[in-house]
Amino acid sequence: MFEDKTLVCQECHEEFVFTAGEQEFYASRGFENEPKRCPKCRAARKQATRATKEMFDAVCDECGKPCKVPFKPNGEKPVYCSECFAKRNAR
């Protein structure tokens, strides 16, 4: 049903392959547009976005370890470190 496509990155202008598997994944998520950036440029953009997020100090409500979270804890909801958060989501 899907076949590999060669696309051109809008940032670095290099060609990259949009694989059949990636196309199937995009379709399963309801995405209608093809990626505009190659995987390398997508990763760089994602990292740049993460680097600019303000992080707040907190203490994990499950294990008690100090951690940093991307929101300001207000005490109304529990806060989890990345390890405890991943464990809870795996359940």
Q: What is the DSSP string of the chain?
A: ----EEEE-TTT--EEEE-HHHHHHHHHTT--SPPSS-HHHHHHHHHHHHHHS--EEEE-TTT--EEEESS---SSS----HHHHHHHHH-
Longest CA pairwise span in the chain (Å): 50
pTM > 0.75: no
| 72, 82 contact by CB (below 8 A) | no
38: confidence class by pLDDT, cuts 50, 70, 90: very high
pLDDT at residue 50 greater than cutoff 90:
no
Give me the pLDDT at residue 26, please.
94
Domain boundaries of the chain, sorted by first residue: 5-52, 56-90
